[in-house]
């Protein structure tokens, strides 16, 4: 969740003009409590059965526990994926935190014509 905290406070991320959403299959109670504890202001979406993660193709990188890893998805206003990058899967390095500057650079590139 530190990723969300850092992205929501990163000025260069805010300057991109994209809406940050955090999606997790964690229990609703745990998700809400942790979000409140960390001061997360961005929308936190509860995806108990991974239906949204599956619809966006994120589950192809599921962790051995069957949970989604750490994947970023950039969706245009029409609902089309314009960029997707998984970091959490073992084959992608298993990272659960990505420096905000890296995310900003990759999203900026994806948004460029």
CA–CA separation, 72 and 79 (whole Å): 15
C-alpha distances out from residue 48 to 31, 45, 53, 73, 84, Å: 11, 9, 10, 18, 21
Q: Tell me which residue has tokens 């959403």.
A: 21
pLDDT at 66 over 90: no
Q: What is the CATH superfamily name and number for domain 2-111?
A: Glutaredoxin (3.40.30.10)
Domain boundaries of the chain, sorted by first residue: 2-111
Report pTM. 0.87
pLDDT in tens, 23-62: 999 888 998 899 999 999 999 999 999 999 999 999 999 9
DSSP 40-107: --S-EEE-TT-HHHHHTTGGGG--TTS---SEEEEE-TTS-EEEEEE-SSGGGT--S---HHHHHHHH
């Amino acid at each position: 969740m530190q990723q969300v905290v850092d992205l929501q406070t990163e000025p260069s991320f805010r300057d991109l003009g994209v809406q940050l959403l955090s999606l997790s299959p964690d229990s609703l109670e745990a998700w809400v409590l942790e979000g409140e504890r960390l001061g997360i202001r961005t929308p936190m979406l509860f995806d108990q059965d991974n239906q949204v993660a599956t619809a966006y193709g994120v589950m192809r990188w599921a962790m051995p526990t069957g949970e989604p890893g750490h994947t970023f998805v950039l969706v245009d206003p029409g609902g089309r994926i314009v960029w997707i990058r998984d970091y959490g899967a073992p084959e992608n390095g298993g990272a659960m935190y990505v420096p905000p500057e890296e995310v900003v650079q990759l999203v900026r590139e994806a948004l460029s014509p």
